[in-house]
Amino acid sequence: MVEEVPIRAEAGEQGELFPDSSMPDELVGYRGPAACQIAGITYRQLDYWARTDLVSPTIRSAQGSGSQRLYSFKDVLVLKVVKRLLDTGVSLQNIRVAVEHLRKHGVQDLARITLFSDGTTVYECTSPEEVVDLLQGGQGVFGIAVSGAMREISGSIHEFPAERADGLEISPITEDELSRRRRARATG
């Protein structure tokens, strides 16, 4: 497991994405159907990616017939990034290389990464200087800000059932003002 070290924001740099520990802990996970809905993929994709070790559940893997996989927040985030890369035409072989690289990072580190691709190769970018270097070759690229995917997931993940791998109860997350307004607007 990668040790996560608290990261302080430098001048002009984004602060922590989850400063108030609103992100689920290591034992909180989401079953396959919820992970699919959150990441925007089919269950068939999820199952194939788990069986081929593209994105395996880190909390609990399937242990025979009837057992449920349990995906962590980071797993769901990686599923969403894989989906976006596939949608832009990157091959599964190149996505595997990118996913292997993402696995080495902690969740907080992922918030600082933007992935770029020319449709063939996937590049990691962590600073504005790297973007310039990548684009000087003249080839068109697109970017996937991992932090954007994190915000999308963290904004909607609380709507899905979660469970703890150790069987203990999950303490409810207090709703902030923005969430209350969104819920009120959605329910009319």
Across the beta sheet with 28-31, what order do the strands follow?
A: 70-71, 28-31, 163-164
The pLDDT score that the predictor gives to residue 22 is 47
Rounded distance between C-alpha atoms, residue 167 and residue 70, angstroms = 12
Distances (CA, A) of 8 to 137, 171, 187: 33, 28, 38
Rounded distance between C-alpha atoms, residue 131 and residue 124, angstroms = 9
Rounded distance between C-alpha atoms, residue 114 and residue 145, angstroms = 4
pTM of the model: 0.62
Topology at the third CATH level for domain 28-112+148-166: Multidrug-efflux Transporter Regulator; Chain: A; Domain 2 (1.10.1660)
The pLDDT score that the predictor gives to residue 133 is 52
* DSSP of 73-135: HHHHHHHHHHHHHHHTT--HHHHHHHHHHHHTS-HHHHTT-EEEESSS-EEEE-SHHHHHHHH
Domain ranges in the chain?
28-112+148-166
The pLDDT score that the predictor gives to residue 35 is 94
The pLDDT score that the predictor gives to residue 71 is 94
Using N-to-C axis directions, what is the helix angle for 43-51 and 73-87, rounded to 10°?
A: 110
Rounded distance between C-alpha atoms, residue 15 and residue 86, angstroms = 29
Q: What is the mean pLDDT of each run of 10 residues along the chain (188 residues)?
A: 39 40 68 94 95 91 78 91 88 85 74 75 73 53 73 81 84 69 78
> What one-character DSSP code corresponds to residue 60?
B
